[in-house]
């Protein structure tokens, strides 16, 4: 059973970004599946690293599009990406009181951040990206 299922309402209408978001969800589901089968083992560190690297690559791609489109909220968007990356970097770090973050809390964070980010923040930049596209690019997105 998947932790997270892609819904058409998640699509922002830019094909390359929507595809990257879908791959991100596949990684989330893979990690959740592993953790569900063996809850004491937590998340496979290799998968976690792959997830971090994929998110970073996606963020830099998205930021380059926003920069080219002269998106007025680019700095805020970059700060959100940095926040996510900092949370991922701390995923194995000790939490207040000496506890490590639970696998469940990590997946809840990932799901909630992802949903909030694409449904609210990513959708805000779509008009700026589409405005700068050629007619053939618009047909593809």
What are the pLDDT digits (tens) for 5-56? 899 999 999 999 999 999 999 988 888 887 777 766 667 788 888 889 999 9
CB-CB neighbours of 139 under 10 Å:
8
Structure tokens at 17: 């970004």
Q: How far apart are CA 28 and CA 10, in angstroms?
A: 15
pLDDT value of position 39: 63
Question: What percentage of residues in the chain have a pLDDT greater than 90?
Answer: 46
Q: Does the structure show a pLDDT above 60 at 76?
A: yes
Q: How far apart are CA 84 and CA 114, in angstroms?
A: 9
The CATH H-level superfamily of 11-140 is Hemerythrin-like (1.20.120.50)
* Residue of 33, 28, 64, 65 whose CA lies nearest to 48: 28
Q: Rounded mean pLDDT of 113-131?
A: 91
| Domain edges within the chain | 11-140
Q: Is the dihedral of CA 30, 33, 37, 42 positive or negative?
A: positive
Question: What percentage of residues in the chain have a pLDDT greater than 70?
Answer: 82
Q: How far apart are CA 48 and CA 42, in angstroms?
A: 10
**44: Cα within 13 Å, side-chain hemisphere:** 15
pTM of the model: 0.82
Beta bridge partners of 100: 94
């Amino acid at each position: 059973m998947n932790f997270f299922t892609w819904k058409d309402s998640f699509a922002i209408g830019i094909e390359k970004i929507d595809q990257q978001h879908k791959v991100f969800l596949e990684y989330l589901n893979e990690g959740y599946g592993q953790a569900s089968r063996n809850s004491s083992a937590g998340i496979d560190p290799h998968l976690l690293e792959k997830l971090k690297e994929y998110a970073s690559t996606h963020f830099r791609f998205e930021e380059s599009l926003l920069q080219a489109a002269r998106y007025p909220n680019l700095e805020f968007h970059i700060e959100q990406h940095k926040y996510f990356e900092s949370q991922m970097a701390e995923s194995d770090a000790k939490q207040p009181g000496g506890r490590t973050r639970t696998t469940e809390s990590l997946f809840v964070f990932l799901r909630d951040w992802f949903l909030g980010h694409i449904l609210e923040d990513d959708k805000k930049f779509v008009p700026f990206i589409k405005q700068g596209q050629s007619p053939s690019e618009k047909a593809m997105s």
